[in-house]
Amino acid sequence: MGIYSILVAVMFIINMLFAGVIIFIERKDASSTWAWILILFFIPFLGFIIYLFLGQNLTRKRLFDTDGTKKIGIDRVIAEQISQIKHSEFPFDSETTEEYKDLIYMHLNNNDSMLTKGNDIQILVDGRKKFDTLLEDIQQAKDFIHIQYYIIKNDGLGKQVIQALVEKAKEGVKVRVLYDELGSRKLKRKHFSDLIAAGGEIGVFFPSKLAPINLRLNYRNHRKLVNIDGYVGYIGGFNVGDEYLGLNERFGYWRDTHLRITGPAVDSIQKRFILDWNQASKQYFINYDPHYFPKKIGTGRAAMQIVSSGPDSEWEQVKNGYIYMIMSAKHSIYIQTPYFIPDPSLLDALRIAVLSGKDVRIMIPDRPDHPFVYWATYSHVGELLKTGAKVFIYRKGFIHAKMLVVDRKINSVGTANIDMRSFKLNFEVNAFIYDKETSEQLADQFEKDMELCTELTQQLYDQRSKIIRFKESISRLLSPIL
């Protein structure tokens, strides 16, 4: 037997061992397992190196220390709400909230997401308006500012936000900034030198232990949260950078959805920030001091839950919430997402909704920021077109909103896209809002956006070229790991 034959045999054995690790030790779902085995087959040995960076399983690891929440009574509130709903004793203050008590119970039960009432919500769909509002709130801060973004860029907007934080830190306001290393890969600690000198603190989520090697490359913190003085909170899709103001020629106008929240739900945003901060920044640990959770009198009307999910959990909390909302629909389902790569369970839920007569509308961008993801998206919307769903291609620029509205009664807005990466691999956070007024506003905005869209009909979809069909086929095959 020649050396070449021996090398081939050894490579085959090593590949079989690697495949065994994926199948029997990691115990991934079948679609992901087959996708990784295909990579191992077509890219021997190198495929497993890719797997080390992109395929690790975090579900058995406890990443976030939740013990501190007992100090401020969050665990007690959650236990009380679960008991009250279970025994039909919960004081629902609206028909809409009571109608979705099973969804509320599910989020309480598997995500410790307490229901808060009396929240006031401002919907922000334009980047300039969002950041003008945020900068104004930063200027009004008196105690602390907690900021968390997946992407912070060292460009015009990024420098403006950082400088605003520097000025507040000099006034004695405690400023903490948390960002994801991969999402903000061009951001360096030196860019925060003035903020650090003024007393600000910086945290980096899943940093490389041996640059440039990062074995947690595939698991990123995609959350975008802001908490100012415990009274004002932000959650949604905007990151920090000039492109989110529509200044990037490639994408043009950036259409996104963000929420500014005042009311008791800000406590849930604070809880999520502290959990992420303490995981990322062991040097500057935050204790659950009551002053981070000031008492608030809710002046609004909206009830909501802040729901987070990530690869550290066996439950796909945000996805499960989406599926419940879809299956509860009686009239309409509006979805805006830059990426549409649902797993079979969510795709089946949408198929059933369409086939049972619900008005299902999905809005996606007309241009890719990630080519494989875009063509996988195109393939999946094609599946729904067959059932009668309506698909709209946003033409004004790039739509990055992550929004689901059902029956113009309830909605979810946050950081999670309709794709398997958001459901399984990224750390995400969404607001589930049980409020007819907010849902009406979001539905009206969706219909306004439709005026800037081209409807993708079955006829147009069938006319796509063979090259596009090929791109769809390859991308769909890889969709479980995109």
3-class DSSP state for residue 249? Answer: coil
Tokens standing for 309? 């999910």
291 secondary structure, DSSP code: G
| Cα of 42 vs its chain's centroid, Å | 32
Tokens standing for 232? 């004002």
The one catalytic residue among 28, 319, 402, 436 = 402
169 membership: H or E segment, kind and range: helix 156-170
Let me know: does 384 contact 239? Beta carbons within 8 Å. Answer: no
Nearest to 229 by CA among 134, 141, 118: 141
3-class DSSP state for residue 46? Answer: helix
Residue 416: partners with Cβ closer than 8 Å, 6 or more residues away? 222, 309, 318, 319, 402, 422, 423, 426, 428, 429, 430
Neighbours of 386 (CB within 10 A): 11
Determine whether 137 is an active site residue. no
| Strand-pair category, 201-205 with 174-180 | parallel
3-class DSSP state for residue 211? Answer: coil
The one catalytic residue among 229, 419, 435, 449 = 229
The one catalytic residue among 112, 267, 407, 435 = 407
Determine whether 407 is an active site residue. yes
| Cα of 116 vs its chain's centroid, Å | 21
DSSP string covering 109-124, please? HHH----EEEEEEEEE
Q: What are phi and psi of 246, to 5 degrees?
A: 80, 25
Determine whether 222 is an active site residue. yes
481 secondary structure, DSSP code: G
Determine whether 402 is an active site residue. yes
What residue has token string 């981070």? 292
Let me know: does 350 contact 429? Beta carbons within 8 Å. Answer: no
The one catalytic residue among 107, 130, 224, 358 = 224
| Omega before 207 within 30 of 0, i.e. cis | no
The one catalytic residue among 222, 380, 390, 436 = 222
**What is the rounded CA–CA span in Å between residue 14 and residue 176?**
46
**What is the rounded CA–CA span in Å between residue 178 and residue 390?**
39
Neighbours of 29 (CB within 10 A): 12
Let me know: does 377 contact 340? Beta carbons within 8 Å. Answer: yes
Determine whether 400 is an active site residue. yes
Let me know: does 240 contact 151? Beta carbons within 8 Å. Answer: yes
**Cα-based angle 206, 215, 152 (whole degrees, multiple of 5):** 35
3-class DSSP state for residue 300? Answer: coil
The one catalytic residue among 107, 400, 409, 471 = 400
**So which residues are the catalytic ones?**
222, 224, 229, 400, 402, 407
